[in-house]
Structure 1
Amino acid sequence: MMKRLVLAASAALIFAAGGPGTGPAGAAWPEKPIQIMIPWPATNDPSTLVANAIAPVMAEDLGVPVKVVNKPGGGAVLATAELARSRPDGYTLGLISIGPMITQVLRGKTPYQNRDLAPLGLVWASPFTLAARADAPYDDLEELAAYGQDNDLRLAHWGLGAVPTLIAMKAAEVGGFAWKETAYSELNPLLVVQGDADVITFSTPGLADYVESGQMKLLAAMLPERVPAYPEVPTVAEQGFGEAYSIWFGAFVPQATDPEIVEKLSTALFAAIADPEVQKVIANVGVVPQTTGPEAARQRMDRELEDFGKLMTELGLIE
């Protein structure tokens, strides 16, 4: 009898403490507002625009307010570090890109490690392309490489640790030439139009006006698939100049978050992304949907940590 009483008391304490996916005293999660953290400035930021469309759909699904908060700084590292340190209770998630999750970590520029954050999944990619002036004597990467073997080619980019730059550097290695590269804190297609650079790595929506006006042309898409707006432009991988990487964005929570909460958040997030009104916003801002669940996202990150680690070592960016 005494043993049964002890077991019953223990079961009552466990129930009072709450099981997976519950709050204090067994309260169901969620029971307070959820915050989506964006590590970039709000102005014209695609992630912010899409997140603002997602938030009300998630709120209706989960039954609590969902708000978007921008916390820019440090190339997205500051907000990512804050997310990694936050309570693993499912009330804070972040939309983080490949840079602060992979390449910045590899360069030792972060106070956190990749495994400090758990993915809800990857959500979309920024459609970066390699572009040149319209009158450049090359139309694709093969012609670019042939030109670069006998002539200087000036590359304008965000920085050596940026994924678009790494893709461009790998393309040069495959093509047997070397860039004369310059990093710009304020990268702008006018650098190419005005003749300060020959080639630029840039998000395709930001190049559209220059392409349509006949001032610039696209040489290669930096995605696994072609950019929907420019289906005639082959990818870097299609042209045989590197792997099919992309500048992806994913949703993350602190690693210790309860798996049931991760599943609930992930389900609500992807249901919101599939909403027709959210799909319209995604199409308007120009990002490319690339949705994968938590497990597939983790597998991809592990693979890219290894791949980019090798590439950055080859390029002398890390030891």
Structure 2
Amino acid sequence: MRLKTLVGALTALALSTGVAMADWPQKPIQILIPWPATNDPSTLVATAIAPKMSEALGVPVKVVNKPGGSAVLATAELARSRPDGYTIGLISIGPMITQVLRGKTPYKNQDLVPLGLVWSSPFTLATRADAPYDDLDELSEYAKTNEVRLAHWGLGAVPTLIAMKAAEIGGFKWKETAYGQLNPLLVVQGDADVITFSTPGLTDYLESGKMKLLAAMTPERLENYPDTPTVSQQGYGEAYSVWFGAFVPKGTDAEIVDKLSSAFFEAMEAPDVQEVIQNVGVIPNKTGPAEARKIMDSELDQFGAIMKNLGIIQ
């Protein structure tokens, strides 16, 4: 009798789970953004995507900004959320890979499941227009006998690691400083010599002739700056993408993952969303759940080796 009762209970549980899955979604879905809303590209694109996803899924989809802790706070909240498909996070490579490797997070990379990688930020190394070097070779020669001050987001930031690796290959060392509020004016006003920064934020300074680009920190040359070779093309390290991905907590049903992934990527194709993507300057980098996991697993190994070699982690 006990066996029948147990089997009946398990069957009821399975059936109730199946019904719940069939009825999903039944309440609003939120997209967590771990950065402040003001002028944040991910917020702008997600805000354009949300109504398209809402139309496709039949429930409200809203964007919620929860900045703090170099994006770790919102990522940790996402990892703790119920795996029911009602909380998505737009998380970048930093809090997903390098901050995890540094032991700065209360979660593991595997605590989150990717819907896919969605876009990347076109980071570059930039300097003043009158700097006595125009590329990484010239910078390396100059830096061997002169102090070069690098302004960056922090040692756990991927652009910083790319710059540190480039210096190692070039045989010099930066005088580096991390800034909580990184700004190109640090270079323009002479407080720093070189900066790692997303190219759209440099546009005004480049067009006014106050700054110039030394290298693109992207796998391919930037469409708007085709004459600027990448770090890799100049022989100063691998081509990495400063990617952003959509994630849900571990344990989310595979069917929900697929539905959310499809809805997100379909929304990205809408003409008005494409216009926003073009305006904010991110690079669409659509990669599905399985391929995204492969990329992350590989980068955990690669960045782990880089950070150990640079003495950032043990």
CA distance in 2, matches of 1:10, 1:91: 27
**Distance in 1, Cα, partners of 2:75 & 2:10:** 38
**Residue 86 of structure 1: CA displacement?**
0.4
5+ long unaligned stretches in structure 1? none
- Relative distance call for 1:9 and 1:154 in structure 2 (3 A) is closer
Instruction: Please state how far the C-alpha of 1:203 moved relative to its aligned partner.
Output: 0.9
Read off the aligned partner of 2:23 and give its amino acid letter.
A
Unaligned runs of at least 5 residues, structure 2:
none
Paired residue type of 1:178 = K
Normalised by the size of structure 2, how large is the TM-score? 0.95
State the shift of 1:15 in Å: 6.0
Counterpart in 2 of 1:229?
Answer: 224
- Indicate whether 1:101 and 2:100 are aligned: no
How far apart are 1:153 and its partner, in Å?
1.0
Post-superposition Cα deviations, 1:243-302, rounded to whole Å, max 9, x if no partner, equal 111211000000100011000000100001111110100000111111100011101111
- Residue 316 (structure 1) aligned with residue 293 (structure 2): no
> RMSD of the alignment, in Å?
1.8
Q: Per the alignment, in what secondary structure is the counterpart of residue 93 of structure 1?
A: strand
Q: Which structure 2 residues correspond to residues 107-122 of structure 1 after superposition, within 5 A?
A: 107-122=102-117
Q: Offset of 1:11 from its aligned partner?
A: 9.3
Q: How many Å apart are 1:12 and its aligned residue? A: 6.4
Letter in 1 for 2:172: F
* In structure 2, C-alpha distance between the alignment counterparts of 1:83 and 1:188, rounded to whole Å: 29
Answering whether residue 143 of structure 2 is matched by residue 148 of structure 1, we say yes
Residue 221 (structure 2) pairs with residue 194 (structure 1): no
Q: Of the candidates 157, 169, 174, which is equivalent to residue 174 of structure 1?
A: 169
- CA displacement, residues 61-112 of structure 1 (integer Å, 9 cap, x when unaligned): 1111101111111111011001000000000000000110001100000000
1:46 paired residue among 41, 46, 53: 41
Deviations 1:27-54 (A, max 9, x none): 5211111110101111111100000000
> Of residues 116, 133, 142 in structure 1, which corresponds to 2:128?
133
Partners of 1:254 and 1:226 lie apart in 2 by 34
What is the letter of the counterpart of residue 210 of structure 2?
Q
Equivalent residue, structure 2, for 1:220: 215
Find the residue that maps to 2:233 and give its secondary structure: coil
Classify the secondary structure of the residue corresponding to 2:247: strand
Of all paired residues, the percent bearing the same amino acid is 73
Letter of the aligned partner of 1:65 in structure 2?
Answer: P
Corresponding residue for residue 16 of structure 2: 17
Q: Which amino acid aligns with 2:260?
A: L
